[in-house]
Amino acid sequence: MSDRVYIFDTTLRDGEQSPGASMNIAEKLRLATKLEALGVDVIEAGFPAASEGDFEAVSQIAKKIKNSEVAGLARATKEDIDRAWGAVQYAARPKIHTFIATSDIHLKYKLDMSREQVIEHAVEAVRYAKSLTDNVEFSAEDGSRSDPDYLCKVFEAAIAAGATVVNLPDTVGYAIPEEFGSMVKYVIANTPNIGKAILSVHCHNDLGLATANTIAAIGAGARQAEVTINGIGERAGNTSLEEVVMAIHTRRNFLPVETNIKTESIYPSSRLVSMITGIMVQPNKAIVGANAFAHEAGIHQDGMLKNPMTYEIMKPETVGLTASKLILGKHSGRHALRSHLTDMGYDLSSEELDVVFTKFKNLADRKKHVMDEDLEAIIAEGILRTTDVFKLEYLQVTAGTTVLPMASVKLSIKGRSVKEASYGNGPIDATFNTIKKLADSDSELLRFSISALTGGTDAQGEVTVRLKENGLIALGKGSDPDIITASALAFVNGLNRLEYLRDNPLRHE
Ligand code: KIV
Ligand code: ZN
């Protein structure tokens, strides 16, 4: 059996199914480029039949990515497969990923099909996809809750029809590691032609076991892991890339397999995903959480000073975590900025550098030391959010112990400037009320959180809002040394994301 484990990243597809995590095309392209540099074998770029926006994003990613395979998801229908192929056909290494459910629960209540009908659909879908490309993956949705003997029959038929990868998903995050590992062994032992395909697993984290299940599956012989950065994804999320890769990397004695991942790119990739989606990484998250390498207890610190091996099983540098560098100040020039951004992994065009440089100078006038986190926020706001409908042009707020809080806002809506002023319970409430009036929005603020991007009293405030309108949920992020401005930017970003979602509704079955 090969000792290579393929990493199939679905941050752009299953990851985008996290409530509120929609990304625009510029953001998806940026992330796809980062995933390619990270060394993932497959980038699942989206679900082209879901919306025009998804189709366009997958096509653009397919045109840009050269080293990783680019996959498009498709239900087991000719229409979906045509859409997926329409988008991925431009890729240097295109892949069609088609799926149908195989558990009796799904067959009875969702598909209203017999087991034989599902096999027919699967075979027809794989055969059709194979007529378009050699590279076809078949997934048995809800595989972990399917009858193992039936699952083996479906896989056997899919491989005979041309599937080069068969995927066993734990769609609802129900499996237990020992059980899932045994199921993988059973599938390998009882699918006669399994040697002609790679067996993949795709786990969800509803019981917090996605990584454990994936590792058990690899131990049992699976050779592809479907993962997302930071573990984002539908409901409780998917298996996280960084956890699987670092478990393999750190426990070679137990798992004698290899991936192609450049581990030093893990942390920058994690930052990019959280910056783009607005989904924060919990501080105690393994590998990429803010506390993952922080030693607090005195006894641990003492041990670390004597020898890091006492309490550290991985080096922070291995995952690309370097101490936040004190970098540029207001006298730094364009050249220094470009070279630092390149070190951070951002290759910007001259026009993009112009935008970042102007924002950097503005910030450096207000904040003595501009850190990596500040630059990332500038890039998120200045470069990645270029297709915005709403833009904050001006904000003035009065607040204090004796005045009624009032906000005056100028907003540009599709390039047309509009102004308004209104009151609120506090300066942030007044700001949000005014923006809502101008944008003619009924959105409900579900969550508001604020944190400091870096240390120091002049740190930028980073605000995250969660907005809901007409059943759609979007996250918005903004940062600025002035927390009211950061709040306004976050609210406007949330409205832009709602607007994007309205035009590009996410659909998964
Ligand atoms: O969770 C799941 O079953 C999926 C499939 C489409 C692979 O995401
Ligand atoms: Zn999934």
Q: Tens place of pLDDT for every residue, the chain, 509 residues? A: 669 999 999 999 999 988 777 788 888 998 999 999 999 999 999 999 998 989 999 999 999 999 999 999 999 999 999 999 999 999 999 999 999 999 999 999 999 999 999 999 999 999 999 999 999 999 999 999 999 999 999 999 999 999 999 999 999 999 999 999 999 999 999 999 999 999 999 999 999 999 999 999 999 999 999 999 999 999 999 999 999 999 999 999 999 999 999 999 999 899 889 888 888 899 899 999 988 987 767 777 777 778 888 888 999 999 998 754 546 778 888 888 898 888 777 778 899 999 999 999 999 888 878 888 788 888 877 777 656 799 999 999 999 999 999 999 999 999 999 999 999 999 999 999 999 999 999 999 998 989 887 777 778 888 989 899 988 888 888 889 899 999 999 999 899 888 888 876 654 44
Of all protein residues, the one whose alpha carbon is nearest to atom 7 of ligand 1 is: 139
407, two tokens: 């906000």
Q: Is 99 in the pocket of ligand 1 (CB under 6 A)?
A: yes
Bridge partners of 141, per DSSP, are: 101
Half-sphere exposure of residue 74, counting CA atoms within 13 Å on the CB side? 31
The minimum-distance atom of ligand 1 relative to the CA of 139 is 7
Distance of CA 233 from the midpoint of ligand 2 (Å): 7
Distance of CA 274 from the midpoint of ligand 1 (Å): 22
pLDDT at 476: 87
- Is-contact 54 47, C-beta < 8 A? yes
The minimum-distance atom of ligand 1 relative to the CA of 14 is 8
pLDDT, tens only, 91-120: 999 999 999 999 999 999 999 999 999 999
Of all protein residues, the one whose alpha carbon is nearest to atom 8 of ligand 1 is: 14
Distance of CA 207 from the midpoint of ligand 2 (Å): 14
DSSP H or E stretch at residue 498 = helix 483-503
Q: Is 141 in the pocket of ligand 1 (CB under 6 A)?
A: yes
The minimum-distance atom of ligand 1 relative to the CA of 172 is 1
Distance between CA 321 and CA 243 in Å, rounded?
A: 15
- Is-contact 375 344, C-beta < 8 A? yes
Closest CA relative to residue 129, chosen from 88, 167, 179, 101: 88
Q: Is 15 in the pocket of ligand 1 (CB under 6 A)?
A: no
* Residues 6 or more apart whose Cβ sits within 8 Å of residue 405: 397, 398, 399, 423, 424, 425, 426, 427, 429, 430
Backbone φ/ψ region at 457: left (φ over 0), alpha (ψ -120 to 50), beta: alpha
* Residues 6 or more apart whose Cβ sits within 8 Å of residue 14: 44, 202, 226, 228, 233, 234, 238
pLDDT at 391: 92
Q: Is 169 in the pocket of ligand 1 (CB under 6 A)?
A: yes
Q: Is 145 in the pocket of ligand 1 (CB under 6 A)?
A: no
The minimum-distance atom of ligand 1 relative to the CA of 167 is 7
**Concatenated DSSP letters of 119-187:** HHHHHHHHHHHHHH-S-EEEEEETGGGS-HHHHHHHHHHHHHTT-SEEEEEETTS---HHHHHHHHHHH
Distance of CA 238 from the midpoint of ligand 2 (Å): 7
DSSP H or E stretch at residue 250 = helix 241-250
Taking each helix axis as running N to C, give the angle between helix 266-277 and helix 372-379, from 0 to 180 degrees, rounded to the nearest 10.
50
Q: Phi and psi (nearest 5°) for 397?
A: -130, 140
Q: Is 144 in the pocket of ligand 1 (CB under 6 A)?
A: no
Residue with tokens 């990493």: 7
SS3 category, 500: helix
Closest CA relative to residue 278, chosen from 413, 458, 479: 479
Domains of the chain: 6-277 (3.20.20.70), 295-321 (no CATH), 334-382 (no CATH), 390-503 (3.30.160.270)
Of all protein residues, the one whose alpha carbon is nearest to atom 1 of ligand 1 is: 171
The minimum-distance atom of ligand 1 relative to the CA of 143 is 3
Task: Return the best residue to mutate from 73, 102, 202 for the ligand 1 pocket (most ligand atoms within 8 A of CB).
Answer: 202
The sign one gets for the Cα dihedral 408, 412, 418, 423 is negative
Q: Is 139 in the pocket of ligand 1 (CB under 6 A)?
A: yes
Task: Return the best residue to mutate from 12, 111, 139, 166 for the ligand 1 pocket (most ligand atoms within 8 A of CB).
Answer: 139
- For 368-409, what is the HEC assignment? CCEEHHHHHHHHHHHHHCCCCCEEEEEEEEECCCCCCCEEEE
Distance between CA 146 and CA 166 in Å, rounded?
A: 15
- pTM value is 0.84
Separation of first and last alpha carbons in the chain: 35
301, two tokens: 């610190």
Q: Is 259 in the pocket of ligand 1 (CB under 6 A)?
A: no
SS3 category, 419: strand
78, two tokens: 């000719």
pLDDT at 507: 47
- For 256-276, what is the HEC assignment? CCECCCCHHHHHHHHHHHHHH
Distance of CA 43 from the midpoint of ligand 2 (Å): 14
Distance of CA 234 from the midpoint of ligand 2 (Å): 7
Q: Is 360 in the pocket of ligand 1 (CB under 6 A)?
A: no
